[in-house]
Amino acid sequence: MLAKQQLPKYYLDVLLKNKKLSRKWKREYYRFVDGVVRSHGIQKFFMRLLYLLCFITTVILAALLYINR
Protein backbone atom coordinates (compact mmCIF):
# COMPACT_ATOMS: atom_id res chain seq x y z
CA MET A 1 0.00 0.00 0.00
CA LEU A 2 1.15 3.52 -0.64
CA ALA A 3 2.53 5.61 2.15
CA LYS A 4 0.15 8.10 3.67
CA GLN A 5 1.89 11.00 1.95
CA GLN A 6 1.42 9.40 -1.49
CA LEU A 7 -2.32 8.81 -1.16
CA PRO A 8 -4.55 11.13 -3.17
CA LYS A 9 -6.21 13.89 -1.21
CA TYR A 10 -9.76 12.69 -1.91
CA TYR A 11 -8.85 9.24 -0.59
CA LEU A 12 -7.60 10.78 2.65
CA ASP A 13 -10.79 12.83 2.90
CA VAL A 14 -12.89 9.67 2.49
CA LEU A 15 -10.87 7.90 5.18
CA LEU A 16 -11.28 10.81 7.57
CA LYS A 17 -15.02 11.04 6.93
CA ASN A 18 -15.41 7.29 7.51
CA LYS A 19 -13.50 7.58 10.77
CA LYS A 20 -15.70 10.47 11.87
CA LEU A 21 -18.85 8.54 10.94
CA SER A 22 -17.75 5.41 12.78
CA ARG A 23 -16.89 7.47 15.85
CA LYS A 24 -20.26 9.21 15.68
CA TRP A 25 -22.14 5.91 15.33
CA LYS A 26 -20.14 4.38 18.16
CA ARG A 27 -20.88 7.39 20.37
CA GLU A 28 -24.59 7.26 19.51
CA TYR A 29 -24.69 3.51 20.19
CA TYR A 30 -23.07 3.93 23.61
CA ARG A 31 -25.44 6.80 24.41
CA PHE A 32 -28.43 4.62 23.48
CA VAL A 33 -27.21 1.65 25.54
CA ASP A 34 -26.46 3.92 28.49
CA GLY A 35 -29.97 5.38 28.30
CA VAL A 36 -31.59 1.96 28.20
CA VAL A 37 -29.54 0.65 31.11
CA ARG A 38 -30.08 3.72 33.26
CA SER A 39 -33.82 3.74 32.64
CA HIS A 40 -34.04 0.05 33.60
CA GLY A 41 -35.72 -0.54 30.23
CA ILE A 42 -34.39 -4.06 29.84
CA GLN A 43 -35.44 -5.06 33.34
CA LYS A 44 -38.92 -3.59 32.85
CA PHE A 45 -39.32 -5.39 29.53
CA PHE A 46 -38.34 -8.80 30.91
CA MET A 47 -40.49 -8.40 34.03
CA ARG A 48 -43.52 -7.51 31.90
CA LEU A 49 -42.76 -10.46 29.63
CA LEU A 50 -42.59 -12.74 32.67
CA TYR A 51 -45.91 -11.39 33.99
CA LEU A 52 -47.50 -11.94 30.58
CA LEU A 53 -46.24 -15.52 30.41
CA CYS A 54 -47.52 -16.22 33.93
CA PHE A 55 -50.91 -14.76 33.04
CA ILE A 56 -51.17 -16.86 29.88
CA THR A 57 -50.16 -19.98 31.83
CA THR A 58 -52.79 -19.22 34.47
CA VAL A 59 -55.50 -18.80 31.84
CA ILE A 60 -54.54 -22.09 30.16
CA LEU A 61 -54.49 -23.98 33.46
CA ALA A 62 -57.84 -22.48 34.48
CA ALA A 63 -59.33 -23.50 31.13
CA LEU A 64 -58.03 -27.05 31.57
CA LEU A 65 -59.52 -27.26 35.07
CA TYR A 66 -62.85 -25.96 33.77
CA ILE A 67 -62.88 -28.51 30.93
CA ASN A 68 -62.19 -31.41 33.32
CA ARG A 69 -65.39 -30.75 35.28
In-domain check, residue 15: no
> How many domains would you assign to the chain?
1
pLDDT band at 5 (very low <50, low <70, confident <90, very high): low
- Is 14 inside any structural domain? no
Q: What is the pLDDT of residues 22-66, one digit of tens each?
A: 888 888 888 988 888 888 888 999 999 999 999 999 999 999 999
In a domain, 18, yes or no: no
Q: Domain for residue 63, yes or no?
A: yes
Contacts 24+ apart (CB under 8 A), 17-22: none
Range of the domain at 67: 35-69
Residue 13 maps to a domain: no
| Of 3 and 37, the one with more pLDDT | 37
DSSP letters of 54-66?
HHHHHHHHHHHHH
Is the residue at 7 inside a domain?
Answer: no
pLDDT band at 11 (very low <50, low <70, confident <90, very high): low
Residue 12 domain-assigned (yes or no) = no
Does residue 1 register a pLDDT over 80? no
